[in-house]
Amino acid sequence: MTTYIVRRVFWLVPVLFFVSLITFSLMHAAPGGPWDRDLEARQVDKRTQELLNERFGLDKPLFFNLEGGNPLDSQFFNYLWNAVRGDLGPSYRQRGRDVQDILFQPPEGKHIWESRFGYSMQLGLLALGIAVVLGIPLGMIAALRRNTVADYTSLFLSTIGISVPSFVMAIFLIIIFAVQLKLMKIVQDDWSTPGAWLVPAAVLGFHTFAYITRLTRSTMLEVMQQDYIRTARAKGLAERIVVFRHMLRNALIPVVTILGPALAALVTGSFIIETMFSFPGSGGEYVRAIRNRDYSMIMATTLVYALLVAVANLTVDLVYGFLDPRIKVGD
């Protein structure tokens, strides 16, 4: 187990390296730069751009310095070296602020959960909670009452959730709850109330809810055909015990193993929903960084998201070995 964990942790190094390399290449391949315009959308003169490039090291080669000296004295490798040391760099658009402060520092006197990344994590956890609380029971009911109205309803909802993009669902719910019923504001002024989180979390978690429902239904139907289920019923066990102790426990193994990647996907994929609802999370900041060519913010957010996904996958691999003793971790 220890050897497997160490090997997987070391594998994170090349994964994060290639993620940063691809992100850096795409970022600089896009036209424009962080100094094209200032914060008031006025054109920045060429001399000022040269001084800013020199100040932030953007006058150096992108990947390798072939003009003598240290060949790794370039923008890419300098950023990687600073990131390894915990320095994610300054923001080029929010001048005077560091990227790690923007993402992880909460307002004065507040908890870290009220930072931008903390808000995104809370939204992802709430969306995952909604998906699990609704998806697992609905999938169970659909399997136990196959070819009934409950089964057809679950299939209908899960098909919609898998087929309809989240931003389309967001527009649909905004029209219903904000425009027609006037039960919520399109742009919230205060995110401290639980009701303000409900619609963004529901939209974000709807696709995961649909996937969990389908997966729970299919695994329950498979487990119901196993010999040990027939044996449990033949022994005279109550149907409640058969369903919850034997059926559900084994059917949930595939569901539990996707929860880690599902949470990572909800957090990393929330930037569209955060932008549509003006949610104060890291996803909206990521979109603004791309629009403003804030290179350090783009790189830092991408690396944080990649690390979150990699750790989630590692956690799931370990949990899967504990849930099913027949599986040896590392096989």
Do 99 and 124 belong to one domain? Answer: no
41 confidence band (pLDDT: 50, 70, 90): low
3-state secondary structure of 267: helix
Give residues with Cβ within 8 angstroms of 142, minimum separation 6.
150, 151, 153, 154, 155, 213, 217
327 confidence band (pLDDT: 50, 70, 90): low
Query: What pLDDT sits at residue 322?
Result: 66
Is the pLDDT assigned to residue 311 strictly greater than 80? yes
| Cα gap 154→148, rounded to integer Å | 10
| Cα gap 141→152, rounded to integer Å | 11
| Highest mean pLDDT (candidates 159-168, 178-187, 312-321) | 159-168
Q: Mark which of 72, 104, 136 sits at the end of a domain.
A: 104
The H or E element that residue 146 is part of is: none
Is the pLDDT assigned to residue 328 strictly greater than 60? no
Q: How many helices, marked H, and strands, marked E, lie in the chain?
A: 15, 0
Sign of CA dihedral 99, 102, 103, 109: positive
| Highest mean pLDDT (candidates 86-95, 138-147, 261-270, 307-316) | 138-147
Name the β-bridge partners of 98.
90
Query: What pLDDT sits at residue 295?
Result: 85
280 confidence band (pLDDT: 50, 70, 90): confident
Do 98 and 146 belong to one domain? Answer: no
Query: What pLDDT sits at residue 1?
Result: 62
Is the pLDDT assigned to residue 331 strictly greater than 60? no
| Cα gap 138→136, rounded to integer Å | 5
The total domain count for the chain is 2
Lowest mean pLDDT of 45-49, 114-118, 124-128, name the range: 45-49
Nearest to 62 by CA among 284, 295, 293: 295
**Mean pLDDT, rounded, for 294-308:** 86
Do 213 and 266 belong to one domain? Answer: yes
Tokens 């920045």 — which residue?
44
Nearest to 120 by CA among 312, 300, 301: 301
Query: What pLDDT sits at residue 260?
Result: 77
pLDDT digits (tens, 9 = 90+) for 53-79: 778 777 787 887 777 667 777 888 888
| Cα gap 7→148, rounded to integer Å | 48
Q: Which residue intervals of 30-74 are DSSP H helices?
A: 46-56
- Is position 284 within any domain? yes
Is the pLDDT assigned to residue 102 strictly greater than 60? yes
Query: What pLDDT sits at residue 5?
Result: 74
Is the pLDDT assigned to residue 305 strictly greater than 60? yes
- Is position 90 within any domain? yes
Range of the domain at 60: 2-104
14 confidence band (pLDDT: 50, 70, 90): confident
Take residue 321 and report the two structure tokens written for it.
């070995």
Q: Mark which of 104, 131, 156 sits at the end of a domain.
A: 104
- CATH code (residue 301): 1.10.3720.10
Most distant CA pair in the chain, distance: 86
Which of the pair, 40 or 26, is modelled with greater confidence?
26
Query: What pLDDT sits at residue 201?
Result: 86
Nearest to 244 by CA among 106, 140, 133, 96: 140
Under a CB-based contact definition with an 8 Å cutoff, are residues 196 and 190 in contact? yes
Which of the pair, 212 or 278, is modelled with greater confidence?
212
Burial of 151-185, coded b for 16+ CB within 10 Å and e otherwise, reads beebeebbeebeeeebeebbeebbeebbeeeeebe
Query: What pLDDT sits at residue 37?
Result: 60
**Mean pLDDT, rounded, for 179-203:** 75
Take residue 56 and report the two structure tokens written for it.
């932030």
Query: What pLDDT sits at residue 123?
Result: 86
Lowest mean pLDDT of 166-175, 227-236, 274-283, 299-308, name the range: 227-236
Do 46 and 131 belong to one domain? Answer: no
Is the pLDDT assigned to residue 44 strictly greater than 70? no
Sign of CA dihedral 288, 294, 295, 300: negative
Is the pLDDT assigned to residue 283 strictly greater than 70? yes
Do 183 and 47 belong to one domain? Answer: no
Is the pLDDT assigned to residue 321 strictly greater than 70? no
3-state secondary structure of 32: coil
Do 147 and 283 belong to one domain? Answer: yes
Do 74 and 219 belong to one domain? Answer: no
CA 116 to each of CA 112, 148, 285: distance values in angstroms, whole numbers, following the listed order: 9, 45, 8
- Is position 111 within any domain? no
Which of the pair, 2 or 18, is modelled with greater confidence?
18
Q: Mark which of 60, 79, 104 sits at the end of a domain.
A: 104
- Is position 209 within any domain? yes
Do 154 and 295 belong to one domain? Answer: yes
Q: For the chain, give the mean pLDDT.
A: 80
Do 100 and 121 belong to one domain? Answer: no
